[in-house]
């Protein structure tokens, strides 16, 4: 059984539930560890139209205070204090300041932007050549993010398929694409950074977890360590479809997943 869900969001960004409501829902599960990983504040020039509090800089301290208090007092499940850091390489100084500002248990690296292009809300109707170029750039950025020393986990490692699922799978069948993905995975191994197995994609129309089976196979061969996350933005999806993730992970030879204690990885069996 998967014992930890490390990827969860709250009302502070674009979640539907408060910190307290998310924790109360986690208490009704069999999880032993529950990780809050709210989105990081964004630097000037970047925005997410879904966020109810702008760039999150005004509310992140309150999020941190609430989670740190739960971390101190909660016992079942134990609470871990995390952040999903938006990877914006042009603002390395901004990212370094965020990571150093709080005593995080872990930092998840989230690739939601390529330059100023938003993977989640940008225009994907510009043809397959442009899409393929974005996929190439995405995995180059992923390798750089893994090697940065700023993150402990790479989130949903094929998030870029979100609005171009069929194109992504055509790209993924190319040998040079698989080699590009493999380089990103080896960067994780070399840096001691884990890869997230996320059930979020199972709640999408395409009904495929992150990462796709071909990438999970490469990750297993490379010796990548893994974490599990639901990427929940609502109380009723915590630990969602973890049985599917567990079956996929076991089929590829995984028997441990990581949690973190003040940025130190701890392997636990499942």
Under a CB-based contact definition with an 8 Å cutoff, are residues 1 and 269 in contact? Answer: no
User: Which residues are CB-contacts of 162 (< 8 A; sequence separation ≥ 6)?
Assistant: 119, 120, 204
Per-residue pLDDT tens digits for 231-269: 999 999 999 999 999 999 999 999 999 999 999 999 999
What is the pLDDT, as a whole number, of residue 44?
A: 85
Residue with tokens 């990462």: 211
Residue 224 burial class via C-beta count within 10 angstroms: exposed 0-12, middle 13-18, buried 19 and up: buried
Instruction: Report the C-alpha gap between 231 and 227 in whole angstroms.
Output: 12
Tell me: pLDDT of 47 over 80.
no
pTM over 0.85: yes
**Domains of the chain with bracketed CATH:** 4-269 (3.20.20.140)
Tell me: pLDDT of 48 over 90.
no
Per-residue pLDDT tens digits for 80-130: 999 999 999 999 999 999 999 999 999 999 999 999 999 999 999 999 999
Per-residue pLDDT tens digits for 140-181: 999 999 999 999 999 999 999 999 999 999 999 999 999 999
């Amino acid at each position: 059984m998967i014992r930890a869900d490390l990827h969860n969001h709250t009302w502070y960004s674009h979640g539907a539930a408060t910190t307290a409501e998310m924790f109360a829902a986690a208490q009704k599960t069999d999880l032993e560890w529950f990780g809050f990983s709210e989105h990081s504040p964004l630097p000037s020039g970047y925005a997410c139209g879904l966020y109810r509090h702008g760039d999150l800089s005004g509310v992140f301290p309150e999020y941190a205070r609430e989670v740190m208090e739960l971390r101190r007092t909660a016992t079942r499940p134990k609470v871990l204090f995390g952040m999903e850091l938006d990877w914006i390489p042009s603002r390395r100084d901004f990212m370094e300041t965020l990571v150093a500002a709080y005593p995080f248990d872990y930092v998840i690296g989230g690739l939601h932007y390529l330059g100023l292009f938003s993977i989640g809300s940008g225009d994907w109707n510009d043809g397959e050549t442009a899409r393929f170029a974005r996929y190439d750039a995405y995995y180059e950025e992923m390798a750089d993010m893994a090697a940065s020393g700023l993150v402990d986990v790479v989130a949903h490692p094929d998030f870029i398929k979100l609005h171009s699922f069929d194109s992504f799978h055509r790209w993924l069948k190319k040998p040079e694409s698989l080699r590009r993905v493999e380089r990103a995975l080896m960067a994780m191994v070399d840096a001691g950074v884990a890869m997230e197995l996320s059930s979020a994609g199972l709640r999408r129309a395409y009904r495929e977890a992150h990462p796709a089976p071909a990438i999970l196979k490469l990750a297993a061969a490379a010796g990548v360590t893994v974490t599990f996350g639901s990427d929940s933005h609502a109380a009723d999806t915590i630990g969602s479809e973890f049985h599917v993730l567990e079956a996929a992970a076991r089929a590829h030879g995984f028997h441990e997943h990581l949690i973190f204690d003040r940025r130190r990885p701890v392997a636990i069996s499942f």
